[in-house]
Structures are given as C-alpha cells and as structure tokens.
Amino acid sequence: MRDKKVLFMVQAAAIAAVYVVLTVVGAAFGFGPVQVRFSEALTVLPYFTPAAIPGLFIGCIIANLTAGAIPLDIVFGSIATLIGAVGSYTLRRQKFLVPVPPIIANAVIVPFVLYYGYGDPMPIPMMMLTVGAGEVIACYVIGMILLLALDRYKGVIFRTA
C-alpha cells in the first residue's frame, strides 16, 4: 500500500516538473491570446495514470507562478488545466477523445482571464478561437503523438507498485 502511494507521488511530481520545464522553455509561445503552450501536450497523461491529474495541476500552478502570471491567471488557468486533466482521465477508454477536455476547458476559461485579468482588447469569442486553436496544436497534435509514442511503453513507464 505504501509503495503505491510513493509511486503515485513520484509520478505526480515528475509530471509537474516536466510541465514546469516545458512551460518555461516555451514561454514565448505559451502566453497571450495566441498561444501554444507545449506543456499542455502532457494533458494526455491521465490516459496512463491518475497521478497525472495532481501533477498537471501543481505543475501549472508552479509554471504560472514562475512565469510571473497574475493571480487570476494562476488560479483560473490552473483550474482549466485541472478540469482538462480530470476530463482526460474520464475519457481514457476512448483514446482519441483524451485531448478534447483540455482543449475545451482552456478555450472557454483562458479568454476570460486574458480579457478581464490582462485587459486584452481582443473580443472573447475571437480569443476562444485563438486559444482553442493553440490548444488543438498542443493537446491534439503534439499530445496525441506523445500518447501514441508512450502507449507502447506504458507498462514500463507507468507501472503500478
């Protein structure tokens, strides 16, 4: 029992760390009304392990703090990632639908943060399209490549204790 808890925490921490690194490295593309946050590709990881849910959430919080995001963005941007991760876990039996929840969650929530938090003048529906398009690139295109590549090794990488 103890080994399972430790493994869960280690997997969550590793996922959070990778999320932070990918966000910081790709910061030039990961913020604003037109964004492709490469770390969002990791939102497919709940397909493999439920430890990805807290890992992605904590990773997003740390990444937003590190990047100097405003409190509204830290809270609601991270909640969007959490909602997406839970949705991905829920759809884990339909492999090709796994990236859809983070796309929808971010396309709906992030534009309001950009408009009300950062004062971006672009209309919210337009930002929903631009943020959504970036999420499709990050979650569906890159995320599915990641999911299909890791699927071969899931028994090794995401083993249970």
Predicted confidence (pLDDT) per residue in 111-144, tens digit: 999 999 999 999 999 999 999 999 999 999 999 9
For the cut 80, the answer to whether the pLDDT of residue 66 exceeds it is: yes
Structure confidence at residue 155 (pLDDT): 82
Structure confidence at residue 81 (pLDDT): 95
Q: Which residues have CB under 8 Å from 16's CB, separation 6+? A: 54, 55, 56, 58, 59, 62
Sign of the torsion formed by the C-alpha atoms of 100, 160, 58 and 2: positive
Distances (CA, A) of 45 to 38, 53, 87, 91, 135: 14, 8, 11, 12, 15
CATH architecture of the domain 2-154 equals: Orthogonal Bundle (1.10)
Predicted confidence (pLDDT) per residue in 16-43, tens digit: 999 999 998 876 665 666 778 889 999 9
Location of structure tokens 């604003």:
32
Domain ranges (residues) in the chain: 2-154
Mean pLDDT confidence for 60-72: 93
Cα–Cα nearest to 47, from 9, 96, 11 = 96
Query: What's the pTM value of the predicted model, to 2 decimals?
Result: 0.91
70 or 160, higher pLDDT: 70
**Integer Cα distance of 106 and 20 in angstroms:** 17
Mean pLDDT confidence for 35-60: 94
